[in-house]
Structure 1
Amino acid sequence: MKIQVLVAAMHQKDHALLEKMHLKTDAIVANQCDFNSVEDFEWNGHKIRYLNFAERGVGLNRNNALMRATGDICLLADDDMIYVDDYVEKVKKAFEKFPDADVIAFNLIEPKITRYVIKKAYKVGFLNYLRFGTARVAIRLKSVREKGIFFNQCFGGGTEHSHGEDNIFLTDCLRKGLKMYAVPEYIAELTEERESTWKSGYDEKYFRDQGALYRMISPRWWKFLCLQDALRHRKLYDCFWVTSYKKMVGN
């Protein structure tokens, strides 16, 4: 079982990221910067490819790596992550425990816990998959390729709609019959040292983009998804739920 890390990175000028992320596998670093080049080399016995492109958009960046991936199992990483020493073993064991898995979500270590914490292993479905982002996900490359699944290039940092590309990706995985599991293993620490390209607070644009995301996920039920979001996050948004709901649906 060959593990490969696919890193979505920005403004990398050298190869220091490999050591910084504590990588112990082959990797593709999709680096959005201000020049174009492709670098192939060996590092600590692993095959590394840098895709340096003068372009923007996180979906496009992840697709550049995904199209060129060669691993059996691929981790979808960001450049502000540091992998734990035994991440390779943890990922392999998870796919051995769930041999029918096409996608597996893991836990991330955070300075301040903001993400959902997996406490026991379970199968993920349409009722609970939106709690996961792709930075904590590993995919079986063959399964994703056979179903023709890629990242939507109109959503995510650097695009018209500043977030949601990971939600749409996982939606497509489930919609096309891929099996997804969650396991309570921590595989990396999220440093969050790089400023987000979209987290400017829960402003008008955030709510419009959230509504556009739900409409993409489910054209039939998108307004219901907006409603549950407004109700579930009413304390987080710090506004009356009707207000956030109306902003999401464009009223």
Structure 2
Amino acid sequence: MSPIITVAISTLGPRFDSIDLPAQRQEISYLILVQKPDEVEHRGRFSNRSDVRVVDLDSIGLSRSRNAALEHSQTDLIMVADDDLKLDCDGILQACDFLSCNDDVAAITGMLKVESGGLRIQYASSSYELNRTNCGRVMSAEIILRRGPLKQSNIVFDDRFGLGTECPSGEEYILLCDILKAGLKAAFIPIVLAVHPDESTGTNWDDVRLVKARAKVISRVFGRMGLVYRILYLIKHIRRIGYGKNAFRFLTA
């Protein structure tokens, strides 16, 4: 049986040795995309795994790594993964079953558990279609993409956003909104795909760069209405963003 999904893991050379893969399953292949490959210590670590391919990249930036995954994947379904996940293969294959029964859906988002126990956030208990206002809390590692429709619509990750850029967050939200803008469908399904560390980039409200990045993401998604949505977002999160100079920076970033 050929693999039906590729788990595309973005990493940096120094982190390559920390990747923990599940036991081999014939339905799942792994594509490890390595930026700063000269810093890999044990290059042959997965040489005995026929389900693993390693691709060295000379680019910098997480979104560029994600785009390389779209280019190099040998399956239509791609899970967008990080190098610090503990993957749930049963959940991943359940998500594949959902997509096989819903071939008009170009992307799905699932659920993550955290290492300290429980789910990452409070998720819905049933499936629903995504729109621009209900997918803002999605993490990359919760996303499975259907490569064909994205390629036909020329949709890729916006490499001006994401870790390694001046706007180090929001690339997954932009991608989902671009999918929806193209007239494609995306849906949430209540299936756990992996376990994620407790801390993540999106939960940090103390980093000024991340707060400014949120503002720029809103403008990127909503265009001319961006300022209106920035104001609404600021009102909702004013205690986290802060008053005075912080609020001003958010509105003018």
TM-score by length of 2: 0.83
SS at match of 1:177: coil
Question: What residue ranges of structure 2 are gaps of 5+ in the alignment?
Answer: none
1:77 aligns with 2:76: no
Question: Are 1:7 and 2:15 an aligned pair?
Answer: no
Question: Residue in 1 aligned with 2:113?
Answer: 109
Distance 2:48 2:134 in 1: 38
Partner of 1:147: 153
Equivalent residues of 1:80, 1:192 under 8 A apart: no
**1:126 maps onto 2:132 in alignment:** yes
Task: State the partner residue of 1:26.
Answer: 29
Cα distance in 2 for residues equivalent to 1:89 and 1:115: 22
* Structure 1: tracts of 5 or more residues without a match: none
Equivalent residues of 1:230, 1:244 under 8 A apart: no
SS of 1:129's equivalent?
coil
Question: Alpha-carbon deviation of 1:186?
Answer: 0.7
Q: How does 1:211-222 map to 2 (within 5 A)?
A: 211-222=215-226
1:86 lines up with 2:90 in the alignment: yes
Structure 1 position 122, deviation (Å): 0.8
Change (3 A) 1:22 1:227: farther
Distance 1:105 1:199, change over 3 A: closer
Q: Offset of 1:11 from its aligned partner?
A: 2.4
CA spacing shift, 1:168–1:116, aligned 2, 3 Å? farther
The residue type paired with residue 78 of structure 2 is C
Cα distance change of structure 1 residues 230 and 13 upon mapping to structure 2, 3 Å threshold: closer
Give the C-alpha shift of residue 128 in structure 1. 1.1
Residue in 1 aligned with 2:233? 229
Match of 2:194 in 1: 188
Q: Which amino acid aligns with 2:19?
A: L
The one-letter code matched in structure 2 to 1:11 is G
Aligned position for 1:172? 178
Contact 1:36 1:52 in 2 (8 A): no
1:136 aligns with 2:142: yes
Q: Does 1:35 align with 2:49?
A: no
Letter of the 1:32 counterpart: Q
Aligned length: 244
1:246 corresponds to: 248
Structure 1 residue 201 displacement after superposition? 4.0
Question: Is contact 2:130–2:186 with CA below 8 Å preserved after alignment?
Answer: yes
Match of 1:202 in 2: 206
